[in-house]
Structure 1
Amino acid sequence: MLAVDGIEKHFGGITAVDGVEFEIEEGTIVGLIGPNGAGKTTTFKMLGGFLPPDAGEIRYRGTDLQDIMQPSRAEKSYFTGSAALVAGLGGLALASQSTPSTAIQAGAAAVGAGAGLGAYRGQEILKTRHFGHKYSRPFQVSRAGMMRTFQITRELEGLTVFENLLLSPKNQPGENVLKTWMRFNSVTETEAANHERAEEVLDLLDLEHLRDEYAGNLSGGQRKLLELGRVLMADPDLILLDEPVAGVNPTLSKTLLARIRDLRDQGYTFCIVEHDMDVIMNLSERIIVMHQGQKLMEGTPEEVQGNQRVIDAYLGG
């Protein structure tokens, strides 16, 4: 489902990730561990599309993540159309102020053409800098079916739990002004389906009693559950969890871990970064161990626990 092939990431003279490779099979829970400074967070950012690798590639369902993040046809059309519009308006404005003189009209047309060329060049620069596929565009990765949570949760505190969930579903026709007016029934049906799904997620995560509570009033553990819920509302195939039980009380931790197992049984796939070794060992089917930017080993929890190199890396031996 996910293939990581020799990825590297450098920050100045520091090599944060050095030739890491592994695979994640569908319907599994894979742990990513390592001591502080091992390169886990940087690797995770590259998996989610938040950082481009300097070398190597990451393939999701056979497609390079960098190709997934290329500008869509709609985006390219938007910028091309914007350039044409600016060029046309520039030419019209100048022509309207010109005298009937042919020379002046020709000059106005030339200036209008120049404005159009400038707009075209501007949009090309904008696409290269902000929409080029070699740059980070994680929203495209999430649309493709791979989403992540964050160690520090990012809920919208001024919205209720239920409203936070309703933000996440993909392809909502109500976000398009024309569809809101021209395809009202479709918008209504989608909204009803999203409401139904949000109620199911609340029940799954034991958050139904907090349905109308503002997200800013939740405890740390409840926010972790809400963040997982928002991911589920987007219906991904692969979920990247960053420190899912960090700062969560034991009772909520058990609830969260039980839900992750349930979701795995339903067909979801997980990759988890976690410092709590008990959690990783009890939850993961395979574990990838990183040390000093490289993959130290990969194996079952039993193999990892009995590996002397892993023990030395954690204990400084």
Structure 2
Amino acid sequence: MSTSTPPRPRTAAPPSELADGLWAAVSVGDERAATDLLLRALDHGADPESVLVDVIAAVQSRVGEEWAANRLSVAQEHAATAINERAVAALALHPAARRTADRGRITVACVDGEWHALPARLLAEVLKLRGWRVDYLGAQVPVPHLISHLHTTRADAVALSGSIATRLPTAHAAITACQAVGVPVLVGGAAFGPGGRYARLLGADAWAPDAPTAADRLAAGRLPRPQTDHQQMDDLPHLADQEYTLVTRSGDALVRAVFGALEDAFPAMRGYDETQRERTAEDLAHIVEFLATALYLGDEALFSWFVSWTARILEARGVPAGSLPPALDLFLHELKDFPRATRILRRGLEALTTDHPTAPGPPV
């Protein structure tokens, strides 16, 4: 008879170590190494929810930070995100992630126009681990399609994900439409602002900052029955001035007018190549989108945050953020008859002056 000590069962590495390993794989585009790492961790007893939240979600957050700092290209960011998405899919099929669906039924979807689907997918998998039957509809779900789905199912709630603030008017339409058919809505994602401030403004029944908190809220009891006796205008009375509608409808014309005048207002633009000019036009379109969203929400701070963030992104890429104040001045000229829009634009200019007191020089 052997008297040797039997081998100890292997245990999974701690989440921080797994996150470091996953980052090492996704940052170089190694899908096989990424999925093998996580599947081995599950084989060795790692908690599937912790892998989703403390490893994959944490690494995805780092992907965004590295892109913002210009240490990852857009292509590298997309590739890393795709690997994380496939890692989630692989985890979902592992025996350790199998649960009996005995709590109820939740529909998880992204706002129409929202293509950042990974947060919603992570939530869907966390809810499955907590015993919910989940209908995961993915990215960019048009409101009519979402409502059609709800008519054919008996969902206890809709969990709506949004990462981009400019999709909030569409999110409002989705929230209202779901509530109109008697289904409460829980929302989450960066689009809904710090502390979920826009979730409350847009009438969502609940908000959660992350997947575990959302799962906890749904497990705590049924969401309240939606209020269906009001229209969107009642939630946002400032929309009566029509500025949001007019700015949205004239967006393309505004971009063309400002782009055409910007070369004189910012002479450094005369040296731009074709790619730089295309990106400038894209930046101007984003300015109009965030201005319109700020008008919709009645929140000047959102636009100020956006222009300050844009300045930091431009500087990280070696692009002169000094083009932003002249562009905002030109938008002010074009929208001089729009009181709320001009007030928001002026607040944006003040934010740039505060955050960037000296404009960087032209590119070398």
Q: Same fold (TM over 0.5)?
A: no
- Using the size of structure 1 for normalisation, the TM-score is 0.27
- Using the size of structure 2 for normalisation, the TM-score is 0.24
- Normalized per residue, the structure richer in helix is 2
- Normalized per residue, the structure richer in strand is 1
Q: Which has the higher contact order (CA 8 A, sep 6+)?
A: 1
